[in-house]
Structure 1
Amino acid sequence: MSEARQARRPLTGAQLGIWFAQQLDPESPMFNTGEYIDIHGPLDPVRFEAALRQTVAEAETLHLRFGEDGDGPWQRLEPSSDWVLHHVDFSGSDHPLEAAEAWMRQDLAEPIDLTRGPLFTEALFKLAPDRFLWYQRIHHLVIDGYSFSLLAQRAAQIYTALTRDQPPGPEAFGALQSILREDDAYRASEQQERDRAFWLARFADAPEAVSLGSRAARAGAGFLRRT
């Protein structure tokens, strides 16, 4: 592993907000993000796992590890292939989709220890011989919603290449270092100082946050949904 990858780096401005919010309630799963893709048609689980493992290997943010010391929270890139793709066959169940969704809900409800990796879960559920669900759960500290689509596109690209015995093409993701350099440059810029001055002036009177309650409440561990 290179020295650059072993080095501890401070969190970006966006990461800091999520880190401290999670520290206020370490047992909350609210920063778990997840999705599943419903795959209709035949699927080769062996090729799919190979494609997914290459995708994860290319996505550097999935290999970040976190900690905190006297200087504050830090992150370090530690590439690893030591993670499990859960293969679960629900095709014999009377209600395979409901069984798979229950599995996913339970996983999403699990609080994540940010100081240990990996910060994601990958699973492939078989509902029928020609129907599968690909599920991902990733902590928001290392990914955003748009990134899920990038992971899916790259996995599909690699899987298609494997089925055709073709090279998968160049890696699709940018380097983590470019993100960190951009964040460092902004923090040291005059633009950051102008932005800070604007917001300090805008809320100089420190108004109370608008609320329907009489006091600020901790974020809930779940949510209600009606469609």
Structure 2
Amino acid sequence: MTDAPHTTTSHDDVPLTSAQRGIWFAQRIGADSAAYNVAEYADVRGPLDPAVLRTVVGRVVDGTEALRVTFIERDGVPVRRVHRTGATDRSPLDVPLVDLSGHQDPHGEALRRMETALRQPADIATGPLVRLTLYRLTQTRHLFHQQVHHLALDGYGAALALARIADAYTAALTPSGAEPPLTGGALAPLIDEERAYRASGWHSEDREFWTRYLSGSPVPARPDAGHCGFAPRCRPAGRTGCAQRPGSRGWAGRRSS
């Protein structure tokens, strides 16, 4: 949970990190830009149960605050809004199944749709900032696509979220029925850690070091007036793995281009 006081509202508001403030201002400058969309997919081989996947996704979302955020402005200050689990003013994160098994090139069509989605700007105030889609290529091969806005998760965080879903799905199909504990999903410790760092001597020493190191460096180029110059990452990264491997790390397989 967050360190914000709980009220009768359906959300908690928490501060942004320094890195998030930079991204927030950049997104506000280029409101129509999709530059901060990040996506990847898991190439899942073997039988897959969409209903079980939706159930474990819901559980992971409940235990991971970063998957339930939007970003608003209050009195001129950006604020991260964490929507509580079960809030009636928010729709649960869905995992639509797109059956492409009858398409002439199901894999190519799935990638085309992913790339199209990647170029669609996200509304950081209303969301959703996380989108999940399951593409069926055949009865025994699916692409599980995850797209997030960089304000909600960075690339490493997105990979962790995908791994959490993979582990939960694998556990749900394991005869023992043991579910992995969902720890580390709260945002408050990250805020506290950054606050402590910025108040420490390390922060001052790091600032002095980088100020000296970058002294005399060229001034960064600026985009032309009226042109933001952002472009989305054109192709989602991929991961391969098996749908059912009891005792394994789920879909957390090798990365592919």
TM above 0.5, yes or no, is yes
1:112-159, Cα deviation, whole Å (9 max, x unpaired): 111112211100011111110100000001112122332222222221
- 2:65 aligned to which of 55, 60, 63: 60
Alignment of 1:72-221 (within 5 A): 72-80=77-85, 82-165=92-175, 166-203=177-214, 207-209=218-220, 216-217=223-224, 218-221=228-231
Bigger fraction of residues in helix? 1
Greater CA deviation, 97-106 or 4-13?
Answer: 4-13
- Larger relative contact order (Cα-Cα within 8 Å, sequence gap ≥ 6): 2
TM-score by length of 1: 0.86
Q: Which stretches in structure 2 are left out of the alignment for 5+ residues?
A: 87-91, 236-256
**Distance change (3 Å), C-alpha of 1:208 and 1:157:** closer
Counterparts of 1:181 and 1:37, CA distance in 2: 33
Secondary structure, aligned partner of 1:85: coil
TM-score by length of 2: 0.77
Counterparts of 2:169 and 2:12, CA distance in 1: 33
1:8-46, Cα deviation, whole Å (9 max, x unpaired): 332101111111111110101010000011111111111
**Distance change (3 Å), C-alpha of 1:223 and 1:11:** closer
Does the 8 A contact of 2:32 with 2:121 survive in 1? yes
Q: Which stretches in structure 1 are left out of the alignment for 5+ residues?
A: none
Amino acid at match of 1:133: L
- RMSD, aligned CA: 2.5
Identity of aligned residues (%): 35
Counterparts of 1:224 and 1:123, CA distance in 2: 18
Counterparts of 2:233 and 2:183, CA distance in 1: 34
Does the 8 A contact of 1:158 with 1:168 survive in 2? yes
Matched with 1:4 is 5
